[in-house]
Amino acid sequence: MADRQWGNCKGCRYFDSHNPQPGSGDTHQCMQPELQEFELELTGDSGCNHYEARVGLDTSTYGEPGSSIH
């Protein structure tokens, strides 16, 4: 398996937002298969090393990490 990279929820494909560009203060559930069972409610500035970039996201807009669950 490839090395996992850390990233913010707002840029992650598993952040359960219908907004194409969720904000730092948006709160949604994490739908990552290994984390979904925990029903985590996270802000856009949260993040973890299960991060996978949303399709079409401009990666140059990432901010500094907020809180982390890992």
C-alpha triplet 31, 32, 36: angle, nearest 5°:
60
State yes or no: residue 14 binds ligand SF4 (CB under 6 A): yes
Q: Which helix (H) or strand (E) holds 14?
A: none
State yes or no: residue 15 binds ligand SF4 (CB under 6 A): yes
State yes or no: residue 22 binds ligand SF4 (CB under 6 A): no
State yes or no: residue 53 binds ligand SF4 (CB under 6 A): no
Cβ proximity to ligand SF4: between 30 and 60 the closer is: 30
Residue 22 CB partners (closer than 8 Å, separation 6+): 9, 10, 15, 28, 44
Instruction: Output the six-digit token pair for 36.
Output: 């979904």
Binding site for ligand SF4 (CB under 6 A): 7, 9, 12, 14-15, 30, 32, 35, 42, 46-48, 50-51, 69
